Structures are given as structure tokens and as C-alpha cells.
Amino acid sequence: MLAERGELLATYCGLAGVTVGDKQADADIQRFCEILTDYTAFVHFEIYERIIDGRERRQAVKDEGKRLYAQITELTHILLVFIDDFADMTGDIDREKLHTDLNALGEVLAARFELEDQILHAIRGV
């Protein structure tokens, strides 16, 4: 998960100053949306689903997962809206909206990472 997160962050940082309409920039935005989709799915299916469906046996992990799940779900919804808005760069994309949404997305990612880290601490037994 941390390796996936690192790739996500590196790609996100690479979008600083991106110009909508530039073919390479459009490809970079699409690639970021793909990585964001993969990360979101990986974390959900590899960690949260295990907790939700009862396959997780460590009580501390289950407790943290249950405590944080609603917050993580809310943040996941915001990530999915971003993906829906920007994954297909063939339409007219408002540059200002993209930059505003990218800035807001950074805050959402930071909040989600913080919650995920709490679950990771429980997994590690810290």
C-alpha cells in the first residue's frame, strides 16, 4: 500500500502547473486518474473489505477499521468524483476548475492517508 501511495503522490506532484489542452499534460492527468483509481481500489479491496466481511482476525485492526470506515468512505467518494470529472480528458476541461480541484484533492489525500496510517499502525501492532 505504501508503494502504491508513493507512486500516487509522485504523479500528483508532477501535475503542478499542468496546462489543460497540452497533449502530454492531458495524458499525465489521465495517468494520475488511473493511478488514483488503482490506489483507491487496492486499499478498499485489500484492507477495508477484509475488515468489513469479517476475514480480519486481529481485534485492533477490526476496531480501527470500523471506527474509521465512515470517514474513509466519505473521502473515497470525493476521490471518485475527481476521477469522474477528469479521467476522460477528451471533453472541455476548465483549467481553473482542474487546479482548484487538484488543490482540494491534495487535502483529501492527506486526510485519507492519515486515517489509513491509523489502520496500518493497528496492522503492525504499533
Question: Tens digit of pLDDT for each residue in 80-121?
Answer: 999 998 888 665 677 788 889 999 999 999 999 999 999 999
> Domain coordinates of the chain in residue numbers?
2-124
What is the per-residue pLDDT for 23? 81
pTM over 0.75, yes/no: yes
- CATH architecture observed for domain 2-124: Up-down Bundle (1.20)
- Residue 10 pLDDT exceeds 70: yes
What span, in angstroms and rounded, lies between the C-alpha atoms of 115 and 90?
34
pLDDT in tens, 18-55: 777 778 888 889 999 999 999 998 888 888 888 888 88
- What percent of the chain is helix, strand and coil (3-state, nearest 5)? 80, 0, 20
Strand segments (E) across the chain = none
